[in-house]
Amino acid sequence: MMALGYAFLYLPIVSVIVYSFSGSDRATTWGGFSLKWYAALAQNEQILEAAQRSLIIAAISATAAVALGTASGLALSRFGRFPGRGILSLMNSAPMVMPDVMLGLSSLLLFVGLQQVFGWPERGMTTITLAHITLTACYVTVVVRSRMTSMDASLEEAAMDLGAKPWRVFFVITLPLIAPALLAGWLLAFTLSLDDLVIASFTSGPGSTTLPMLVYSKVKLGVTPEINALTSIIVVLVAIGVSVAGVLMHRRERKLARSQN
Amino acid sequence: MLWLALFFCVPFLIVLKISFAESVFGQVPPYTPLLETAENGATTLRLHAANYAALLADPLYIAAYLKSLLFASVSTLCCLLLGYPIAYGIARAPRLWRLLLLVLVILPFWTSSLLRTYALIGLLRANGWLSQSLVGLGLLEPGQAVLHTNLAVYIGITYNYLPFMILPLAATLIRLDFTLLEAAADLGAKPWQAFRRITLPLSFPGILAGSLLVFIPAVGEFVIPDVLGGPDALTIGRVLWTEFFTNRDWPLSAAIAVAMLLLIVLPTLLFEYIENRRVAREAQS
């Protein structure tokens, strides 16, 4: 039963990887081993440009989301009951339960309104990035918040008692302690942004097509072998990244176990 | 710490503004400046009502909402049936295996869902493996495909959201005290009885969390029904997309968004609030 479940998870991906090495022009028939789709992908300016754009947007929005998410995560877990806490908490979960189409449309309407009043932001990469920050910051908040609530506050209190200024406590004590959570949050935000088609489609302008938008327009036209190659590359990169993270986590746990004995 | 408080107000304000943008812009035809709405409240009100009347009058929208619920609930059930054994297996696995099995569940989640949906197209096409084997079993006419049917949408949503079901379930099952099962067996319970009377009730929080994580985003899903479903697979997300990009009817799409807010988001938040209160109460007692 379990094997069946895992087969279900991996069969589609494996079949795409297999076909990405097929030499036939039809994406569904096997035409001998060849690397020609990878070559085609490497020469496809359009795809490369879109990929670069997506990576830039994802990096900026993930970084901003970590900054904002850390701030609200801290506030929710350390400040006790301040006015507006309940509203903040509610507002925080709102983007998580909002359907993408809704978030996309409302962000766009907001940007159009702002543009009419202030002449900013121009629709394009800026607006996509801003919308992605809104989308991802709440996920970072949840990650940071759960880390903070499971963490002992006495270290911070001790530093305060010894006369450290609040910002110093934050940078010297809190930040190193929550660093793993920040990294996890950043990666999550990065992936979410890189993955998003719907919100980007709503908030993009002319000449700011992201990779998912390009893939979607190609997929709507039918299966294209180039996308097979692209999928395979992404899967391999992710697999490497996850394995490295897994090994590092494993090592850290072993080190911790040793240091406790 | 004060500047932090200011700092976290920014995302909060952005979200707040967005939620206002809906209610304010919901009645404005596109390209009307925001400031005008404040002056001629009468016209906006009339437009506003017209949009919502259109939503209620046309059976298409209500059908789309029901269809979204159908897709989401069937897929959630499939995720549960498929995910429970996997989560159970992970929980019972030896520690070293556990990490590997969990990583194997998370790995597909880190690859783009659009690309995973695309990967399914190859299997569901008329000449894909799944359609072919169904034809072989006599369940499909030769030449027919699973692609562009409701079944394809169920498979697509189940495939995409399965990790969201497995992770909370596995987390709950890992914490479960398996000596209880041994005790039940000692007292003469059959494995199935022990599962039904002990494991299942104790894993209920995980089932609930997993089902919500699958169901809620599945209701608003756009890509999967659009790519895998037939032309009749009109979910509410797809309707909004079409109104906006194809018909360019901004006020109507905004009205759909507000309806979504009322029908999907608010019940969820309310549920979450009640659930948190219940947990807090239980913790106190």
CB distance B182 to B199 below 8 Å: no
Please count the other Cβ atoms lying within 10 Å of the Cβ belonging to residue B140.
18
**pLDDT tens, position by position, for chain B (285 residues)?**
555 555 555 555 555 555 555 454 544 444 443 333 333 344 444 455 666 777 777 788 888 888 999 999 999 999 999 999 999 999 988 887 888 888 888 888 778 888 888 888 888 887 777 777 777 777 777 767 788 889 999 999 999 999 999 999 998 998 888 888 888 888 888 888 888 888 888 888 889 888 988 998 898 899 999 999 888 888 888 988 888 888 777 777 777 777 777 777 777 777 777 877 777 787 776
The three-point CA angle A223-B113-B8 to 5° equals 145
Contact B113 A238 (CB under 8 A): no
How many angstroms separate the CA atoms of A29 and B31, rounded? 49
| Segment of A97-106, A143-152, B134-143, B226-235 carrying the highest mean pLDDT | B226-235
Q: Where are the alpha helices (H) located in A34-170, listed in sequence order?
A: 36-43, 45-78, 85-97, 100-118, 125-149, 154-161, 166-169
pTM: 0.82
The three-point CA angle B243-B249-B254 to 5° equals 80
B 237-276 residues with CB < 8 A to A: 237, 240-241, 244-245, 250, 253-254, 257, 260-261, 264-265, 268-269, 272-273
B283 contact A CB<8A: no
CB distance A178 to B97 below 8 Å: no
pLDDT given for residue A84 in this prediction: 63
Contact B7 A134 (CB under 8 A): no
Lowest mean pLDDT: which of A48-57, A81-90, B9-18, B159-168? B9-18
pLDDT given for residue A253 in this prediction: 73
| Confidence at A197, pLDDT banded by 50, 70, 90 | very high
Q: CA nearest A10 in B: which residue?
A: B108
Please count the other Cβ atoms lying within 10 Å of the Cβ belonging to residue B272.
17
Which of A15, A100, A238 has the CB atom closest to B119's CB atom? Answer: A15
A233 contact B CB<8A: no
Helix (H/G/I), strand (E/B), else coil: A35: coil
How many angstroms separate the CA atoms of B178 and B183, rounded? 9
pLDDT given for residue B32 in this prediction: 44
Q: Which positions ≥6 away from A139 have C-beta within 8 Å?
A: A65, A69, A96, A185, A188, A189, A192
pLDDT by residue (tens digit) across A204-216? 888 788 999 999 9
What is the nearest CA distance from A35 to chain B, expressed in angstroms? 19
